[in-house]
Amino acid sequence: MRTQLRAETDLDLFIVIAKEGGLRRAAAKLNVPVSRMSDRLRALEEQMQVRLFHRTTRSMALTEAGLALLTHVEPALAALDAAVEVAAAGGGEPSGILKINAAPPAAELILAPHLPGFLARYPRIDVQLTVEDALIDIVRAGFDLGIRYAEHLSADMISVPIGGKQRYVLVAAPALLKKTGTPSRIEDLARVPAIRHRFPGGTLLPWEFSRKGKLVTVEPHNRLVTDNTRVAVSAALGGAGYLLTFEEHVSTWISKGKLVSLMQHGLPAFSGPVIYYYSRRHVPPPMRAFIDYMKSVASG
């Protein structure tokens, strides 16, 4: 989120070229001629007396020096932009575009209920929300902050808790339990038909339970595999298989008797999601407004 109050530099153009993977895509993104991008990149390399990209007629790739420059200059320029925005705001109403990347459960269960209130409170802040399972580098991908569960974060990120305790539940339709019988041990779940969540790259995480303080994992029979929670819940309601999911996704159906909660003793509560962002000295006003707002609704 580069402020327009700071003049564009060759280093800014270098970052765009590196992130877009080539001159043509970078030029198209910035709506400038390819020749201008090429000239400014050449000027930067001549000034630094180092080659920043390996070039062929078909591709460009960062050299070791280019990768080192990108690693250091991107957060430095982001901090500079933030400082300029803080100074320009002068204590006025926060404004600008806030780009957020969030894991689906965090977005659907924690963020979505509070977005209307945040947008109403800050009419000059526009939110661009991307919801995806994939773990990404939010800085390199151009996001201001992310919302995810803390165990997946790198150590150089600042994290702010915004959700209370959550828990998984294992559920099955009453008709399915009549066919399979109700499992009494965690190990029995290895033989039941399961509805599993597929993560990017095809990853299927084992079902995890707690027994006397120790972790017990199960690999059930994959009757249905999907990356869509609504499909999974609908299939569970229809008796297609056992489903392990967030309690909020199925609590209504449990209360109505359409689904039965199982193995509750082995599924303790865990900490909710956090807002995370790259450590920098000055946090832009839209980011600060969002962080403070989510902290307030989480505590209150």
pLDDT one-digit tens code per residue, 156-209:
678 889 978 899 999 999 999 999 999 999 999 999 999 999 998 888 999 999
Report d(CA 96, CA 285) in Å as an integer.
9
DSSP letter for each residue of 186-216? GGGGGGSEEEEEBPGGG-BPPEEEEETTEEE
Considering the entire predicted model, what is its pTM? 0.68
Q: Tell how strand 193-197 and strand 221-226 pair up.
A: parallel
- Can you give the pLDDT at residue 286? 92
Going by the DSSP 8-state scheme, the letter that residue 113 receives in this structure is: G
Average pLDDT over residues 37-44: 90
Going by the DSSP 8-state scheme, the letter that residue 170 receives in this structure is: E
Which residues, listed in sequence order, are joined to residue 204 by a DSSP beta bridge? 198
Residue corresponding to tokens 């924690």: 110
**Distances from the Cα of 258 to the Cα of 124, 171, 234, 254, 265, angstroms:** 44, 10, 11, 6, 21
Average pLDDT over residues 268-278: 90
CB count, 10 Å around CB of 51? 13
Report d(CA 45, CA 51) in Å as an integer.
6
Which region holds residue 49: left if phi is over 0, alpha if psi is between -120 and 50, else beta? Answer: left
- Can you give the pLDDT at residue 149? 87
Average pLDDT, the chain: 88
CB count, 10 Å around CB of 203? 9
Span of 25-29, 62-66, 291-295 with lowest mean pLDDT: 25-29
pLDDT at 1 over 50: no
**CB neighbour list of residue 240: distance below 8 Å, 6 or more residues apart:** 176, 193, 195, 223, 224
- Can you give the pLDDT at residue 282? 65
- Can you give the pLDDT at residue 84? 67
Domains in the chain and their CATH numbers? 10-89 (1.10.10.10), 96-165+272-299 (3.40.190.10), 168-266 (3.40.190.290)
- Can you give the pLDDT at residue 241? 98
**CB neighbour list of residue 94: distance below 8 Å, 6 or more residues apart:** 122, 124, 125, 285, 286, 288, 289
**Distances from the Cα of 42 to the Cα of 16, 58, 76, 201, 283, angstroms:** 15, 18, 22, 38, 33
Give 42's Cβ-side CA count (13 Å radius): 7
141 — pLDDT class (breaks 50, 70, 90): confident
Residue corresponding to tokens 């199982």: 262
Report d(CA 71, CA 40) in Å as an integer.
20
Average pLDDT over residues 277-294: 84
CA dihedral 73, 143, 79, 70 (to 10 degrees): 0
Average pLDDT over residues 217-232: 96
